[in-house]
Amino acid sequence: MNKSKLVIGIIAVIVVIALILVGVMAMNNSENSENVSSTNNQATNTATNNELAEENTADSNSNTTSEGGKILVAYFSLPETNDPNNMTDAEEDSTVIVNGEVLGNTQYVAQLIQEETGADIFRIEAKEDYPLDHDTLVDQALEEQENDARPEIKGTVENIEQYDTIFLGYPNWWGDMPMIIYTFLEQYNFDGKTIIPFNTHGGSGLSSTVRTITNKLSNSTVINNAFTLSRNNMESAPEEVSSWLKEIGITK
C-alpha cells in the first residue's frame, strides 16, 4: 500500500510539474505572437510610409516635368462692341458675354487657355485703333492684306526670352491671320521656342495659317495640332479648350 501511495504521489507531482511547464510555454508563445504581430504592423506601416513617400516624390517630379519653362499666351482679338445690350448680328458674331463683360471670341479662348495653364498673357493691340463698324473693319482688313501691311503694335512683351512656349491666338480674317500678327512674328526672336497656334473663325477654320507660321518661324517648333473654334460654337469653348490642352500635354 505504501508503495502504491508513493508511486501515485510521484505521478501526481510529475503531472503538476508538466502542467506548470505547459502554462509557461503557452505564455511565452502568446508574447512571441504579439511581438510578431507588432513587427508585422511596423513593417506594414513602414511599407505604407515608403509608398506615400514614393507617391509624393512622383507627384513632385511630375509637376516639375509638366511645368517646364514659362508659358505665354499672346493673342489678337477685336470685339466689335463693348456694349452687351442691343447687339447687331455682326457684333454678336464677334463676341462672347461672360459675367456681363463683352469679350472677343479669341480673347475668350485666350483667357481659358491662361486659366488652364497658369500662363502669362499679352494682348496684341494696334497703335491705331481698328474701326468697330463691321463693314469698315472688313474693308480695312482686306486692304491691309492686299498691301502686305504691318500695323504697329501698342506695347511690348517684356523679356520674351523667358518663355519657352507661346500660344498664339488670332481670328481668321480673309482666310489668313490679321496682318498685325505678322508684325508680332517679325518683332521678336522666337528661335528655339514652341509655338502653339489657336484661332476662332466664321467658317474657314485655320485655313493655311499654321503652315504660314511654320514657314516664318523656321527655327521654332510649331505645333500642327492647333486649336480652332467656330464663332457659332463658343458656348462649348471651355470643354473644347480643356480637352485640346490635354491632347497636347499642357496643363497647369
CA-CA distance, 149 to 37, in Å (whole number)?
81
CB 208 within 8 A of CB 180: no
CB 157 within 8 A of CB 187: no
First to last CA, the chain: 98
Locate the domains of the chain by residue range.
Answer: 1-67, 69-248
DSSP 223: -
What are the two backbone dihedrals, phi and then psi, of residue 135, each rounded to the nearest 5 degrees? Answer: -65, -40
Task: Print pLDDT tens along the chain (252 aa).
Answer: 444 444 455 555 454 444 444 343 333 333 333 333 333 333 333 333 333 233 332 222 222 224 468 999 999 999 999 999 999 999 999 999 999 999 999 999 999 999 999 999 999 999 999 999 999 999 999 999 999 999 999 999 999 999 999 999 999 999 999 999 999 999 999 999 999 999 999 999 999 999 999 999 999 999 999 999 999 999 999 999 999 999 999 988
CA-CA distance, 159 to 70, in Å (whole number)?
11
Cell numbers describing residue 69:
519653362
**CATH class name, domain 69-248:** alpha beta
Global confidence as pTM:
0.73
CB 109 within 8 A of CB 169: yes
